[in-house]
Amino acid sequence: MQPLPLQSPVLRLDQPVLADAPRMFEYCQDPVFERFLTVPWPYNESDAETFISRYIPGAWRSDEEYTWALRQGDEFLGVISLRVPTGSIGFWLGAQHRGHGYMPEAVRLVADWAFANRIVDSIQWECLVGNVPSARVARKAGFTFTGTAASVAPYRDGSHPSSWQALLRASDDRAPKSGWPADVA
Q: Is 167 left (phi over 0), alpha (psi -120 to 50) or beta?
A: beta
What pLDDT is recorded for position 154?
87
pLDDT band at 155; cut points 50, 70, 90 = confident
Q: What is the mean pLDDT of residues 136-151?
A: 96
- Work out the number of other CB atoms within 10 angstroms of the CB of residue 184: 20
Average pLDDT over residues 73-85: 95
pLDDT at 185 over 80: no
CB 13 within 8 Å of CB 68 = yes
Residue 121 has pLDDT above 90, yes or no: yes
Confidence of residue 178 (pLDDT cuts 50, 70, 90): very high
In the chain, what are the domains? Answer: 6-169 (3.40.630.30)
pLDDT, tens digit (0-9, with 9 covering 90-100), for 1-25: 888 999 999 999 999 999 999 999 9
pLDDT score for 175: 95
What pLDDT, on the 0 to 100 scale, is given for residue 71? 98
> What does the pLDDT average to over 146-164?
92
Model confidence, pTM: 0.95
Question: Which is more confidently placed, 119 or 157?
Answer: 119
Coil, helix or strand at residue 97 = helix
Residue 144 has pLDDT above 90, yes or no: yes
Q: Say if residue 40's pLDDT is above 80.
A: no
Q: How far is CA 169 from CA 6, 151, 178, in A?
A: 20, 20, 16
Beta strand 75-83 with 65-72 is antiparallel
